[in-house]
Amino acid sequence: MSYRSFLPVTGVGCICAAGDNLSTCMKSFFGKGSHPKPPSRFTGDHPVQYPVFEVPEEISLWGGGRKQEVFRTTQLAMTSAQEAISDAGLSKKELRDRRIGVCIGTTVGSAMNNEAFYREFRKGLRPDMKPILKFLNSNPAQVIADEFGLTGPRQTVVNACSSGTDAIGLGALWIRAGICDAVIAGGADELSRITYNGFISLMITDDSPCKPFDRYRRGLNLGEGAAVLILESDESRRIRNHPAQAVLLGYGASCDAYHLTAPDPEGKGLKRAIAAALKENNITTDRIAFVNVHGTGTHDNDRVESKVLNELLPEIPFFSTKGYTGHTLGAAGAIEAAFTIACLQAGEIPVSAGFNIPDPDLPARPVNERTLVTGDVGISESLGFGGNNAVLVFGKCRL
Amino acid sequence: MPSLRTRIAVNGIGAVGGFGCGVNDLEKSLSDRVCQPGKVEIISGEGVIELPVFNAETQRLESYVPKRALRRVDHFSRIAVLGGYLALEDAGYAETSSGNMGIVVASGYGAAQTTFGFLDTIIEAGDGCASPTFFSNSVHNAAAAQLSIFSRATGPNITISQFEMSVPSALVTACQLLAEKMVDFVLFGGVDEYCSVLGYCRHRLFPNEKPEGMAPLHLNQQSAIVGEGSAFFLLSRPEDSISPYCFITNIIFGNLRCEDVSLPPEAFLILGADGHKCCGRHYAEQIPCGSRVAVYANLYGSLPIGPAFDMAIAALSLKSGEIFGVPRQAGENPKWQVIHHGEKLNREPIYCVKFNENGDFGFIALERE
């Protein structure tokens, strides 16, 4: 199969509540799955506990002696970056000698909002400056670039829930521009008491396991994690004689220009983003195996996605993985890109976790059983606060 | 050095900062060579701290947007939206097809005041009374989102946060969106705001050694004064340009650990030195002797998106054909040819040069033709 333009994905790394690497996550999806629990690393004084998807404490993250110096978000990003780099077979020398950029999406990872520091400041005390220094030392793209001695561009994308998807798409543009040979692209976010309270205040969180697209869905569960793809020019890949896991075939992005937190109910922005992503290689619907949707479990999001998919891609199976991972915010798009690649390779998609009872108001429904898929193209889409829509198209292609 | 060679037209400029609002106010402060900061007080463990700050006023936004529509828009987003409107107006951009415009915003710290405002609601009234309005406005991309809502721009909408490298990094993205023809126009800019926590942190981490004023050219002294504001540009491919100020021709980035800096000897350099001595040493070491240089941070203060203001000043110089003299208090540095009074600009390019403490650098090259 020849494409007009494509970028090999030569390595993938992923860590989330479902597992500490991509293979373990996939086994979980096709097995028992993972389930949200009350947060263990912070507390809230709400009358009910809102469950979250935490990366288990027993999983050892990157950091060693530096763990106290950088945010957990950055540790998650580095952990998945290490897996992806190893998967791509990039040696330390190759990392230093090639032009390699870093493009990472995050939300929590760029926020200066340490509560303990601020409480002391408000009281007119003299707070310890360590939390501020930690914030200044935690820019995930910067840390990854410095840790591996990379010489390419670096960028942290802060586009809320579409950050991870946008980071991958924007990183791809660098390679097309000839700025670098490869990009470490992905997203990372940790669970935080601040965002926990923020989403609860918006009344879009569920106090039980989330149910994307279900008739009785009541909102999302937050999660944490990271995923990284190694995007590489085909020339660089061939020189290294390393196989690709998949190819990136398209990136589309748009903004609803509608509301700060709610998506455009007509989904006009999402339709434009999907069309733009498919247009790059003139992908027709008969080639699309599945869509890995944003599927948060909120009424607005699921309604819009169902409407758009019914109009643009009827009969194409789709699923949400947020019932396995929670909504990992800036990491979500990257984690779902990783899963899209893995599902393309497997030729099947898991049950859309949490979906049991169809909503008669939603014209399209996700799969409710493990499903074999044909087609050589998978779509991963993300919708974010601010009305962002970001879509990636991957091709199943062994190079 | 990694770089993006390009040719992107700068069609309109909107700037909001301590100097005022709009291109005219910026030009006036450049001609006057002075801008006085205001003062804020912070109550802290050391008692009341008085700090100079270059504050940005956004009253003028109400001439573009009804006041009622702004009632839930915070200061951070207002600064950005005002900068955006000013740039569109300056470019004479008609809202004919909003799908043709993307938005790319750079910010070092995001909506800092609202971020802590959200924490205030939790601390004062408990978790259950956290404010959803504050939370939704506190996300880093809130300003870009508000810009898209008000301007009805439905192209890609991207926010980048890379501290002092936010502007050159985000500019690469803006230029690529145009080069790939994902959109025909990009409203690109940088925005950062002051908040009391930021001021306090600056005071604790970088105590001022020059209370008499900011002197960015005295590179081994700490004299930074916090600023806030925005600088926005309407960018396009050359064939779609609307009477452009100039063209962005190169964006160079890297880290001093991996490579040495090389700048064209004929270029005029606007240095992003802003009174932080931890960054100042890099300018001292990397900018060759005899270079023609200027610094303008005295007019807008020290903030991560400072390079966006330098870009605006570079564009004004290229259009007028004249380099503005440095502000009166900028200081002196005998190593370079510091431009103290207006000078003719020939055909040389202008490079906006920024180093951070880590040794990262971002250079933005602009040319008239």
Write down the pLDDT at residue B210: 78
Write down the pLDDT at residue B212: 76
Helix (H) or strand (E) holding A230: strand A225-232
Percent above pLDDT 70 for chain B: 99
Asked if B139's CB is within 8 angstroms of A201's CB, the reply is no
Query: Apex CA A298: angle with CA A295 and CA A304, to 5°?
Result: 65
CB A72, CB A42: distance < 8 Å: no
Cα–Cα distances (Å) from A150 to A82, A142, A230, B363, in that order, read 14, 10, 13, 18
- Which residue does chain B place closest to A204, by CA atoms? B132
Residue A176 touches partner B, C-beta closer than 8 Å: yes
CB A304, CB A264: distance < 8 Å: yes
Tally the residues of chain B: 369
Write down the pLDDT at residue A398: 65
Chosen from B70, B161, B166, B186 to mutate, greatest number of chain A CBs within 10 A: B161
**Average pLDDT per block of 10 residues along chain A, 399 residues long:** 85 97 95 92 94 95 88 97 98 93 94 94 94 96 94 95 98 96 98 97 97 98 98 96 96 96 95 97 96 98 98 97 97 98 97 96 96 96 96 88
B98 — pLDDT class (breaks 50, 70, 90): low
Write down the pLDDT at residue B8: 98
A237, A264, A282: which is closest to A393 by C-alpha? A282
Residue B207 touches partner A, C-beta closer than 8 Å: no
Q: What does the alpha-carbon distance between residue B323 and residue B310 come to, in Å, rounded to a whole number?
A: 12
Quote the strand ranges of chain B, DSSP E: 3-17, 20-21, 38-44, 47-54, 101-106, 157-160, 185-192, 226-227, 229-236, 246-255, 268-271, 292-295, 322-323, 337-338, 343-344, 350-355, 360-367
Q: What does the alpha-carbon distance between residue A277 and residue A273 come to, in Å, rounded to a whole number?
A: 6
- Which residue does chain B place closest to A178, by CA atoms? B4
Paired sense of beta strands A225-232 and A7-16, if any? antiparallel
Q: What does the alpha-carbon distance between residue A33 and residue A26 come to, in Å, rounded to a whole number?
A: 9
pLDDT tens digits, residue range B51-88? 999 999 999 999 999 999 999 999 999 999 999 999 99
Which residue among B142, B161, B197 sits closest to A121, beta carbon to beta carbon?
B197
B343 — pLDDT class (breaks 50, 70, 90): very high
Residue B255 touches partner A, C-beta closer than 8 Å: yes
Task: Point out the least confidently predicted range of A163-172, B39-48, B315-324, B349-358.
Answer: B39-48
Write down the pLDDT at residue B237: 97
Residue B110 touches partner A, C-beta closer than 8 Å: yes
Quote the strand ranges of B157-240, DSSP E: 157-160, 185-192, 226-227, 229-236
Write down the pLDDT at residue B227: 97
Asked if A155's CB is within 8 angstroms of B162's CB, the reply is yes
Q: What does the alpha-carbon distance between residue A385 and residue B103 come to, in Å, rounded to a whole number?
A: 15
Mean pLDDT calculated for residue range B30-53: 91
CB A206, CB A57: distance < 8 Å: no
CB B13, CB B93: distance < 8 Å: no
Asked if B149's CB is within 8 angstroms of A259's CB, the reply is yes
Q: What does the alpha-carbon distance between residue A28 and residue B149 come to, in Å, rounded to a whole number?
A: 40
- Which residue does chain B place closest to A126, by CA atoms? B45
Contacts of A110 in chain B (CB under 8 A): 110, 140, 161
CB A193, CB A179: distance < 8 Å: no
pLDDT tens digits, residue range B15-35? 999 999 999 999 999 999 999
CB A290, CB A350: distance < 8 Å: no
B260 — pLDDT class (breaks 50, 70, 90): confident
Contacts of B107 in chain A (CB under 8 A): 158
Write down the pLDDT at residue B18: 97
Which residue among A180, A198, A260 sits closest to B145, beta carbon to beta carbon?
A260
Residue B127 touches partner A, C-beta closer than 8 Å: yes
Asked if A261's CB is within 8 angstroms of B136's CB, the reply is yes
Q: What does the alpha-carbon distance between residue A230 and residue A247 come to, in Å, rounded to a whole number?
A: 11
Task: Tally Cβ neighbours within 10 Å of residue B175.
Answer: 24
Write down the pLDDT at residue B78: 98
Percent above pLDDT 90 for chain B: 91
B94 — pLDDT class (breaks 50, 70, 90): confident
Q: What does the alpha-carbon distance between residue A265 and residue A303 come to, in Å, rounded to a whole number?
A: 8
Task: Please give the positions of A annotated as active site.
Answer: 161, 294, 327
What pTM was estimated for this model as a whole?
Answer: 0.98
Sequence-distant (≥ 6) Cβ neighbours of residue A290 within 8 angstroms? A316, A317, A318, A319, A343, A349, A371, A373, A375, A378, A379
Asked if B205's CB is within 8 angstroms of A255's CB, the reply is no
Residue A110 touches partner B, C-beta closer than 8 Å: yes
Contacts of B148 in chain A (CB under 8 A): 255-257, 386-387
Mean pLDDT calculated for residue range B102-117: 97
Q: What does the alpha-carbon distance between residue A367 and residue A380 come to, in Å, rounded to a whole number?
A: 15
Chain A and chain B share a number of CB contacts under 8 A equal to 214
Residue A129 touches partner B, C-beta closer than 8 Å: yes
Which amino acid type is present at position B353? Answer: V
A73, A67, A171: which is closest to A113 by C-alpha? A73
Burial class (CB in 10 A: 0-12, 13-18, 19+), B59: exposed
Cα–Cα distances (Å) from A58 to A17, A20, A45, A237, A323, in that order, read 11, 10, 26, 35, 22
Contacts of A185 in chain B (CB under 8 A): none
Cα–Cα distances (Å) from A131 to A71, A118, A138, B328, in that order, read 9, 10, 10, 37
Can you name the residues that pair with A230 across neighbouring β-strands?
Answer: A11, A184
Chosen from A197, A207, A279, A281 to mutate, greatest number of chain B CBs within 10 A: A197
Q: What is the DSSP letter of A220?
A: B
